[in-house]
Structure 1
């Protein structure tokens, strides 16, 4: 009997961890952190504990390296797991980097201990090319192999095909991980599986559709122009991996297209001469984002055709003239102070994406109370995170709690949802509709309750013969 168990991403969109179990062994798909209040309370140290049996687990398969999919890996090792960690080739490069930061923030500052953990992780990594089968268990009464396919979510992201061969039949079970939207910057869009008897699929945006790429691009332009009219800072909280690089790519494209065009000014006295797009300063204030942007540049073979064409034309989508990267903490504090005092328009991209930590918090503390500034959200904000609170209460002039203190929100708050790295409802339905034979079982995970219910209703219209389940913990 084949079982599918869920150890996370059931009551919300974080903590992804799923188990494929056959009688004598099993594998895990992801092992991520919980964030916000998605388990009905504020996340705590108890959420880091591996509270399920792992003696039978033969491998961990990583769909991508976002922290809500990989953040509990050190605790999995601490619980005794010593098997292979299977992931795509780009993910194998990025995983130790993301876990190093997670260890420093939430585990220990002991450099020697961090290095030992990272060395162990590197020794267990099995980089797997896309489209290539890998045997996890061979022979005996049951066998299992896995294959990774491009998911289009972030660089290196994959959905996982699992072939389980028993005494009587072979069953293919597919775990979607996080799927990307078609026409996203930099990455090819995902193709549907050739077969899926059972499908476990995310539903982050299962209740809505994004705007198209061209319209969102010009809406980004419009929001930036509007925000910069009064000489404030546009603060974009963004994940270090994926969203930051997508934004840089799109902003470089806007500068290339509108370089000589002037950005409207409400106060002509504050600058000498008009501000043009090609003069606009873009700041990435995140050492991790800077490092992953470098890795993205080094992995150009995994970019899509459009992005490689820009490079071949002599452009540098992730390293252009107007881009400044801030690394040191001292420079970060100086930048916050300078932007608060000056009236120099600037776009700042800083982590974390849900405003739950990182350098973006210092910017928010200093800038939320000034109506000249703007906060632009381009990604999902989980329940219980400061980002969700700013998004919900900011337009009504509310407040948000940061590091135990309340801060009034007078800055304008915008959202451009089309830049989400997640597929929307239509994309998810097309992904499933593209499978030649509809899965007999579809499990909906990784979404808020309303998103999962809405997606289930939409699914029933295209897969009436499927058993559509919404698992609970």
Structure 2
């Protein structure tokens, strides 16, 4: 192992975009974990862990604390396995994340370990006392000894409610040496609905940077929303259902926010009568929590609320709770010609209620599937996205389904920063880092972003090492 401290060991999000987990070694005996997320599709840790083997495959003896950047499942979904492996320390995150995390972890337990509500409740009762929610922009001391002091500070990342990038201030008083390391977590796109955009840190020595869209630029919000509206209107003319697979937290709330604005601002009869169906119990719970966390919304969203609008609870929004109601809704929409918009989970079509909609509707050209988020390779969503427009097929629960429904992709709805946002996160720093480590991206995204960062460093006369672990 590297004998220079601090140094970083990556246990996930190095061979793809999921399974984020990084170990920051402070001394040979002390380390911190940053995130501990689920793997999805065919992605793995390279050390034995993947979507089918989630047991923690590294030693936890040195781990003093877990720091969570945000509550998406690919960043915290392995926490049940972490506790099962013997981790007994605290979980540090922002105040909104501390409010949202129990719901995410309960679902991860029920889906990934055992569908036993009593056991899941006991697990959450174990987690709750360990959750340490902190305000943004405030230094928190994790370790304070004569030989080592480590403080962290959460800064807004603009990805989902409660998301943060984390600054680690590490001091070795006996050596008169300090280091500043920044973990980006997932950075949001500027002008995203509801959330303030992230601002670059003042300085860093090392930045661990996500690179999901390191090879792509998003369209701006105005054209993105216009295209979203056009795609929905075109799909609804077919007389069927528009299925939007969406993650329960973040994406779902952004879509509801945009749909409420379209309904409010357009006079078309189609939009005034169309039912917006939220068929995802977890997303419904998160939407209620989002409503409770309005102080963390951006100025535009707060202005809508104070004017009397309900961006996440408008009149045409119908929620489907029970499994019987879900099955009835699937059957009704599949068999009638009533246009509807259904937002359902999971976002990558690898689990959840979206599977039943796809089974019932993929074979019918009246229906349409609209992808608004990243599809990890190997997931059913990725296969439908890639092969659907060519008249291909997808396997769901071991059965083949021909794809005759319309397939659309709206990449501009990503909650991730695009190439320009990622580059700006580094180049807008007052004191550039010595090193950037690129994680959380496919190979092309990482290599493209690495080349551009190196070129920007040369043109700015900066010395910058860009590593791809």
Into which bin does the TM-score normalised by the smaller protein fall?
over 0.9
Tell me which of 382, 405, 419 is aligned to 1:388. Answer: 382
* Cα pair 2:42 2:51 within 8 Å, conserved: no
Q: Deviations over 1:376-428 (max 9, x none)?
A: 00000000000000000000000001001110000010011111000000011
What secondary structure sits across from 1:13 in the alignment?
coil
Tell me which of 434, 459, 470 is aligned to 2:468. Answer: 470
TM-score scaled by length of structure 2: 0.96
Tell me which of 242, 245, 253 is aligned to 1:237. Answer: 245
Cα deviation for residue 327 of structure 1 reads 0.6
Match of 2:43 in 1: 38
Match of 1:27 in 2: 32
Match of 1:441 in 2: 435
Tell me which of 242, 254, 261 is aligned to 1:253. Answer: 261
Match of 2:122 in 1: 116
Match of 2:211 in 1: 203
Cα deviation for residue 42 of structure 1 reads 10
* Cα pair 2:276 2:317 within 8 Å, conserved: yes
Tell me which of 195, 209, 223 is aligned to 1:187. Answer: 195
Question: Residues 22 and 463 of structure 1: is their aligned pair in 2 closer, same or farther, counting only changes over 3 Å?
Answer: same
Tell me which of 100, 110, 115 is aligned to 2:106. Answer: 100
* Cα pair 2:363 2:403 within 8 Å, conserved: yes
* Cα pair 1:36 1:42 within 8 Å, conserved: no
Q: Deviations over 1:120-173 (max 9, x none)?
A: 110101000001111110022111111100000000000010001012211100
What secondary structure sits across from 1:293 in the alignment?
helix
Cα deviation for residue 44 of structure 1 reads 4.4
Aligned residues: 456
Q: Distance in 2 between matches of 1:199 and 1:111?
A: 40
Q: Distance in 2 between matches of 1:470 and 1:409?
A: 37
Q: Distance in 1 between matches of 2:394 and 2:325?
A: 26
Q: Distance in 2 between matches of 1:163 and 1:289?
A: 36
* Cα pair 1:61 1:85 within 8 Å, conserved: yes
Alignment of 1:29-108 (within 5 A): 29-39=34-44, 43-46=50-53, 48-108=54-114
Q: Deviations over 1:223-254 (max 9, x none)?
A: 00100002110000000000000000001000
Q: Distance in 1 between matches of 2:438 and 2:111?
A: 32
Alignment of 1:28-427 (within 5 A): 28-39=33-44, 43-46=50-53, 48-166=54-172, 167-258=175-266, 260-262=267-269, 276-427=270-421
Q: Distance in 1 between matches of 2:168 and 2:6?
A: 12
Q: Distance in 2 between matches of 1:95 and 1:462?
A: 38
Q: Distance in 1 between matches of 2:64 and 2:102?
A: 21
Cα deviation for residue 470 of structure 1 reads 0.0
Moved more, 100-109 or 321-330: 100-109
Q: Distance in 2 between matches of 1:44 and 1:240?
A: 19
Q: Provide the alpha-carbon RMSD of the alignment.
A: 1.2
Q: Distance in 2 between matches of 1:364 and 1:460?
A: 44
Cα deviation for residue 434 of structure 1 reads 1.1
Q: Distance in 2 between matches of 1:355 and 1:42?
A: 21
* Cα pair 1:174 1:196 within 8 Å, conserved: yes
Q: Distance in 2 between matches of 1:358 and 1:113?
A: 21
* Cα pair 2:369 2:406 within 8 Å, conserved: yes
Match of 1:7 in 2: 11
Cα deviation for residue 45 of structure 1 reads 3.6
* Cα pair 1:438 1:463 within 8 Å, conserved: no
Unpaired runs of at least 5, structure 2:
none
Moved more, 125-134 or 456-465: 456-465
* Cα pair 2:40 2:51 within 8 Å, conserved: no
* Cα pair 2:170 2:180 within 8 Å, conserved: yes
Mapped pair 1:453 → 2:457: no
Unpaired runs of at least 5, structure 1:
263-275
Q: Distance in 1 between matches of 2:369 and 2:84?
A: 39
Question: Residues 83 and 42 of structure 1: is their aligned pair in 2 closer, same or farther, counting only changes over 3 Å?
Answer: closer
* Cα pair 2:43 2:51 within 8 Å, conserved: no
Moved more, 461-470 or 36-45: 36-45
